[in-house]
Amino acid sequence: MLYYPPSHAMAIDCIVKSKSSVPEMCQEASKSLVFDASLLQHQNSIPAEFVWPDHEKPCPNPKELPVPLVDFGGFLSGNPVAAAEASKLVGEACREHGFFLVTNHGVDSDLISNAHRYMDYFFELPLSEKQRAQRKLGEHCGYASSFTGRFSSKLPWKETLSFRFSAEKNSSHIVQEYFEKTLGDEFLPLGEIYQEYCNAMSKLSLGIMELLGMSLGISKESFSEFFQDNESIMRLNYYPPCQKPELTLGTGPHCDPTSLTILHQDTVGGLEVFVDGEWRSINPNVTAFVVNIGDTFMALSNGRYKSCLHRAVVNNKTPRKSLAFFLCPKEDKVVSPPNELVDSNNPRIYPDFTWAKLLEFTQKHYRADMNTLQIFSTWLQQQKNS
Ligand SMILES: C=C1C[C@]23C[C@H]1CC[C@H]2[C@]1(C)CCC[C@@](C)(C(=O)O)[C@H]1[C@@H]3C(=O)O
Ligand SMILES: O=C(O)CCC(=O)C(=O)O
Ligand SMILES: [Fe+2]
């Protein structure tokens, strides 16, 4: 039985009372507010919906977090000593704060720079053009600008474009088809680049899953096979400059509900991780990917590794971009830890669930934060009991 401190009980109570939604996720959110950064960023005042509470506002000059640098080259070349060393580093990072950098990753640098270049092209289009890919309520794919119409307060100062990736052989063009179908033939070059980028991310994810398996003392195939046919989410984050960056957040504090995040940030900086009671910055390193585990992997590891709290701050000078590949299992796969990670000293912490159900929870019932998995576990139980 999971224990919930009173605050969680209240959140659960909200879910039960309002039959499915919690205060933050409300259908009656102000639809009139349109986030057109090209207009908003020149206004003197920031609409109240974008101003975060004092205890969540950005801190001036956060200290840098020295994140372990995992050299992936030796592992890729099949060197068992290098693989063991990389696995040890990954394990240490995941036991501490869940973030590490991966270098010598084998992903073509031209592919990465093209992926960034095409982000500039897309997000600099007129809002009406971008809204042709408008995310529908309850859907995780599409274009979203600060989630107006989805949340009623603490709106993130960002625009996003999210789309599906599938590692299944019969879905090898799913990304290209999305761009062509949603935005038109002239967007085929973007579709090709992001298809290639997601293929590379999927391959890198499976290698990292081998290192994670080794670091937990189970077979290196255990997790990589689980994600072989992954149905993942690719998200392009675009953070326009904000005239009052001390009042807003690009992405609020959260743990990723997904399994593994492979993030490439540009040279601007703004990613922060909450470690030992304070926000610490992860400084840009364009030759490396920033990797962190999410809630679904925390459940898969039976809580051995923690999904970590992080956020993104904005600035008043230049747009910031990040490409986030969210590794997710095939939607109907049951998320359940390997037997080796469950024993009398390590009883089960989370119930079995499917990623489809957790995704539905974050898209229709609950704004992902630092408590998502706990609240989801109770919501799931209540669904089963009703
Ligand atoms: C499954 C997902 C939901 C979010 C995108 C992916 C993984 C991260 C999640 C998110 C970024 C966590 C913070 C809140 C959120 C609403 C956001 O700011 O975008 C989350 C994404 C989402 O629900 O769209
Ligand atoms: O843009 C960033 O640096 C972080 C974004 C993030 O955490 C997310 O999209 O889940
Ligand atoms: Fe995140």
Using a 6 Å CB cutoff, which residues line ligand 2?
A: 235, 237, 251, 256, 263, 265, 270-271, 310, 312, 322, 324
Distance 79 CA to ligand 2 centre (A): 32
State whether the beta carbon of 258 lies less than 6 angstroms from ligand 1: yes
* Non-local CB neighbours of 314 within 8 Å, separated by 6+ positions: 157, 158, 239, 240, 241, 242, 245, 248, 249, 250, 270, 320
CA 243 to chain centre: 26
Q: Count other Cβ atoms within 10 Å, centred on residue 380.
A: 18
* Non-local CB neighbours of 202 within 8 Å, separated by 6+ positions: 165, 167, 230, 232, 325, 327
Strands 353-354 and 69-71: unpaired
pLDDT of residue 366: 95
Ligand 2 atom with the smallest distance to the CA of 326 is 10
pLDDT of residue 146: 82
List the catalytic residue out of 150, 280, 304, 320.
320
| Structure tokens belonging to residue 377 | 């576990």
Query: For atom 18 of ligand 1, which residue has the closest CA?
Result: 251
| Exposure class string for 142-171: b at 16+ Cβ within 10 A, else e | bbbbbbbbbbbebbbbbbbbbbbbbbeeee
| Structure tokens belonging to residue 136 | 């529908």
Ligand 1 atom with the smallest distance to the CA of 150 is 16
**CA-closest candidate to residue 316, choices 37, 36, 34:** 37
Distance 17 CA to ligand 3 centre (A): 29
CA 260 to chain centre: 8
142: left (phi over 0), alpha (psi -120 to 50) or beta: left
Beta bridge partners, 251, equal 312
Query: For atom 9 of ligand 1, which residue has the closest CA?
Result: 256
What whole-number distance in Å separates Cα of residue 288 and Cα of residue 263? 9
DSSP-derived 3-state class of residue 166: strand
DSSP character string of 170-236: GGTTHHHHHHHHHH-GGGHHHHHHHHHHHHHHHHHHHHHHHHHHHHTTS-THHHHHHTTT-EEEEEE
pLDDT of residue 62: 96
Query: For atom 21 of ligand 1, which residue has the closest CA?
Result: 368
pLDDT of residue 264: 98
Query: For atom 7 of ligand 2, which residue has the closest CA?
Result: 311
Q: Is 320 a catalytic residue?
A: yes
| Structure tokens belonging to residue 210 | 């081998």
What whole-number distance in Å separates Cα of residue 216 and Cα of residue 301? 8
Distance 325 CA to ligand 2 centre (A): 10
State whether the beta carbon of 24 lies less than 6 angstroms from ligand 1: no
Which residue is associated with the tokens 């038109």? 184
pLDDT of residue 55: 97
Beta bridge partners, 292, equal 99, 261
Type of residue numbered 270 = G
Distance 372 CA to ligand 1 centre (A): 11
Distance 236 CA to ligand 2 centre (A): 9
State whether the beta carbon of 368 lies less than 6 angstroms from ligand 1: yes
* Number of Cα atoms under 13 Å in the Cβ half of residue 315: 12
State whether the beta carbon of 256 lies less than 6 angstroms from ligand 1: yes
User: For each of the chain's 386 residues, which pLDDT tens digit applies?
Assistant: 322 333 444 444 444 444 334 445 544 455 556 778 778 877 888 999 999 999 999 999 999 999 999 999 999 999 999 999 999 999 999 998 899 999 999 999 999 999 999 999 999 999 999 999 999 988 999 999 988 788 999 999 999 999 999 999 999 999 999 999 999 999 999 999 999 999 999 999 999 999 999 999 999 999 999 999 999 999 999 999 999 999 999 999 999 999 999 999 999 999 999 999 999 999 999 999 999 999 999 999 999 999 999 999 999 999 999 999 999 999 999 999 999 999 999 999 999 999 999 999 999 999 999 999 999 999 999 988 88
pLDDT of residue 41: 76
